[in-house]
Amino acid sequence: MAFAKSVWRLLRGIKDALVLLFMLLFFMALYAVMMSRPSPAQVREGALLMELNGYVVEERTAIDPISALISGQAPISEYDVQDLVHALDSAVDDQRIGAVVLDLSGFLGGGQAHLQDIGAALDRVRAADKPVLTFAVAYADDGMMLASHASEVWLDPLGGAIIAGPGGERLYYAGLLERLNINARVYRVGTYKSAVEPYLASEMSEAARQNYTALYGALWEEWQANVRKARPDTDIAAVTGDPVAWVKAASGDLATAAKQAGLVDTLGSYVDFGDRVAEIVGEDPYDDYPGSYAYTELDPWLADNPPSTNGSAIGVITIAGEIVDGDAGPGTAGGDRIGELLDNALDDDLAGLIVRVDSPGGSVFASEVIREAIERHSEAGIPVAVSMANVAASGGYWVSTPADRIFAEPETITGSIGIFAVIPTFEDLAEEYGVNSDGVRTTPLSGQPDLIGGFTPEVDAILQSTIADGYSDFIKRVSDSRKLSPEQVDRIAQGRVWDGGTARQIGLVDQYGGLDTAAEWVAQKAGITDHDWHLTFLGSSEATYDTLLRSLVMPEAVKVPAQDVFALVSHRQSAAVSRLEHDAQRLLSIRGMQAYCLECPSPTQRYDDTAGLGLVQQFMALLD
């Protein structure tokens, strides 16, 4: 009996200890959640500091909690473009903010349309007689586009600025696949549908070259026009026409060369820069560290300035990243997830709907799921507009077809109306190693599709017919939406990619403008006057664990350091391996019909995270 009592006391002690442990963990987690949320109490007089240590995106990617906790780190920081524009507009009339500071030392880039929106917001800050100052160790194209809108552009004397322009090279695998005896069976419609070319050829086709020469040329002209308007004295011709002569004229000093060309105003360290900001907004009363100044960070500022909820609600559904089947996202456009968000919003009494697209496309089936869900809103009698951001191509255009009106920027990449599928088979590889297939068929389709033994001609014909039918469906949706004949659509389709300016001329886009312009049009069509409306972003609330993980596993201010030529080689090698992995995954993974623009930049396909800085170091090494 005494033994039983001892065991009971032991079990009860273990139970009490576990209860105490779980209570302790609960309160620790509760405290962590509370501390992870930015507080309006952190707002103070001084500068609005925006440290852009990552990418500007249309929609932040959700963190995978398991991956984040195992690795101990979260993905590279992402900044929602709407948050940045709202933060800047909120600072225009707020007396607590005396200046805006952009620290671009760790800036990794963003889409051209996004940068244009942020630049316009910076112009509004300057129009309110509030200076905008930027600092970086090195400026590349994207950082320079933002910095051109600043009152003062600072550069570290050991840094530099290089303008490369859009374009570049990609990998082609036809020779490799031939050596490996892998047969990439491609089914496509569209002369310009170059998404599958890397698996078919060893170089870019002439049709694709002509298409992308025109596209990149238009984007480059828009970039130059934007920078010249914001910074008229910049000598872009000298910087890009003969960059070697430009740098040699400054004895190989990229920082001096940047200043001589008018890319930057002042050369100085971050401490010098901070002292200059302190002259404008005052010193930091809580910090006497060299170069300190009074400031408010982005997250507390956004917490203190939530978007308005007055008036009628206009819904915004965001389609960002590759369009895929299932519930993926945010940051990736899962067809089922977006369709469910749209259907749930049918009961929300929305005055109108804006479809915000920043996607190179993807799954045809998922695109159709989204398109049908958007169409249900149109059938409910509310105005529907599409607002295209950086990219709205292939499936990104497919989902745009139910709109009453399509808005895009001149820098938007759109079109790419075409369909493809690629399936690898291994009959030649199997034969090389002495593996043969044989058997009995009752029909031409018995045992098909056979990835090892190969496809029969009947299977090939059926798959190609399916792709052709999918292309016809795409053409019909565009024809009905744009009030063009199928023949007219086919002439501007064939997988060809267009810049926003040309897309407007040929009828794929109705009007220039961003999200605000689309919202004003929807409000007018809904009969709303006196700006008595607000935007509500469907499914935009972040999960609590996402906010907590970002706080716990991400450093506060991760900055991309200056790097030598050896670091450049290492990062370029990593980027090449990542590209190989992505292309191999696209070839070998199970996918249905694809309406996807492979050459279009996408938030889900990040380039080398130090590519802009690496180019600077490369020029330094070559001219040393």
More confident residue, 295 or 545: 295
pLDDT at 301 over 60: yes
First to last CA, the chain: 88
* pLDDT tens digit sequence for 118-170: 999 999 999 999 999 999 988 989 999 999 999 999 999 988 888 989 887 88
Work out the pLDDT band at 510, boundaries 50, 70, 90: very high
Say which range, 31-45, 94-108, 490-504, 549-563, has the weakest mean pLDDT: 549-563
**Average pLDDT, rounded, for the chain:** 84
Q: What pLDDT does 472 receive?
A: 93
Outline where 380-452 has alpha helix (H).
395-398, 427-432
Among residues 273, 304, 335, the one where a domain terminates is 304
- Contact present, 49 and 104 (Cβ < 8 Å): no
Say which range, 182-191, 214-223, 361-370, 584-593, has the weakest mean pLDDT: 584-593
Statement to judge: residues 265 and 155 lie in one domain: yes
Statement to judge: residues 126 and 260 lie in one domain: yes
Question: What mean pLDDT comes out for the span 546-574?
Answer: 45
The first and second tokens of residue 466, run together, are: 């399916």
* Domain assignment present for 618: no
Q: What pLDDT does 621 receive?
A: 40
* Domain assignment present for 105: yes
Say which range, 195-199, 204-208, 390-394, 525-529, has the weakest mean pLDDT: 195-199
* Domain assignment present for 173: no
Statement to judge: residues 19 and 49 lie in one domain: no
Residue type, 458: E
Name the range with the highest mean pLDDT among 37-41, 175-179, 403-407, 538-542.
403-407
More confident residue, 610 or 71: 71
> How far is it, in rounded angstroms, from Cα 583 to Cα 502?
30
* Domain assignment present for 259: yes
- Phi, psi angles (nearest 5°) of residue 8: -60, -45
Q: What pLDDT does 142 receive?
A: 92
How many Cα neighbours within 13 Å face the side chain of 48?
29
Among residues 304, 331, 350, the one where a domain terminates is 304
Burial of residue 171 (CB within 10 Å: 0-12, 13-18, 19+) is: exposed
Statement to judge: residues 1 and 140 lie in one domain: no
Q: Spell out the long-range contacts of 210-218 with Cβ–Cβ below 8 A and sequence spacing 24 or more.
A: 211/496, 211/497, 212/167, 212/497, 212/599, 214/499, 214/502, 215/413, 215/497, 215/498, 215/499, 216/165, 216/166, 216/167, 218/410, 218/499, 218/501, 218/502
> For 307, which DSSP code?
P
Question: What mean pLDDT comes out for the span 557-568?
Answer: 39
Sign of CA dihedral 248, 249, 253, 254: negative
Statement to judge: residues 110 and 15 lie in one domain: no
Q: What pLDDT does 393 receive?
A: 94
> How far is it, in rounded angstroms, from Cα 449 to Cα 43?
63
Outline where 249-357 has alpha helix (H).
254-260, 270-281, 298-304, 335-344
User: What are the angstrom distances between the C-alpha of 6 and each of 3, 18, 558?
Assistant: 5, 18, 55
Statement to judge: residues 477 and 513 lie in one domain: yes
* Domain assignment present for 608: no
More confident residue, 420 or 57: 57
| Overall domain count for the chain | 3
Does pTM surpass 0.75? yes
Which domain CATH number covers 109? 3.90.226.10
Statement to judge: residues 398 and 487 lie in one domain: yes
The first and second tokens of residue 366, run together, are: 């998922």
Sign of CA dihedral 520, 522, 523, 527: positive
* Domain assignment present for 198: no
Statement to judge: residues 330 and 365 lie in one domain: yes
Statement to judge: residues 293 and 321 lie in one domain: no
* Domain assignment present for 454: yes
* Domain assignment present for 413: yes
> How far is it, in rounded angstroms, from Cα 36 to Cα 578?
32
What is the chain's alpha carbon radius of gyration, rounded to the nearest angstrom? 27
Statement to judge: residues 281 and 380 lie in one domain: no
Give the three-state DSSP class for 14: helix
Sign of CA dihedral 498, 503, 508, 513: positive
Statement to judge: residues 26 and 126 lie in one domain: no
Statement to judge: residues 377 and 447 lie in one domain: yes
What residues make up the domain containing 390? 312-537
Question: What mean pLDDT comes out for the span 49-74?
Answer: 77
Among residues 517, 537, 557, the one where a domain terminates is 537
Segment (H or E) for 615: helix 611-623
Q: Nearest 5 degrees, angle CA 103-CA 108-CA 113?
A: 95
Those residues whose C-beta lies under 8 Å from the C-beta of residue 495, and which sit 6 or more positions away, are 188, 189, 190, 191, 192, 193, 194, 195, 416, 417, 418
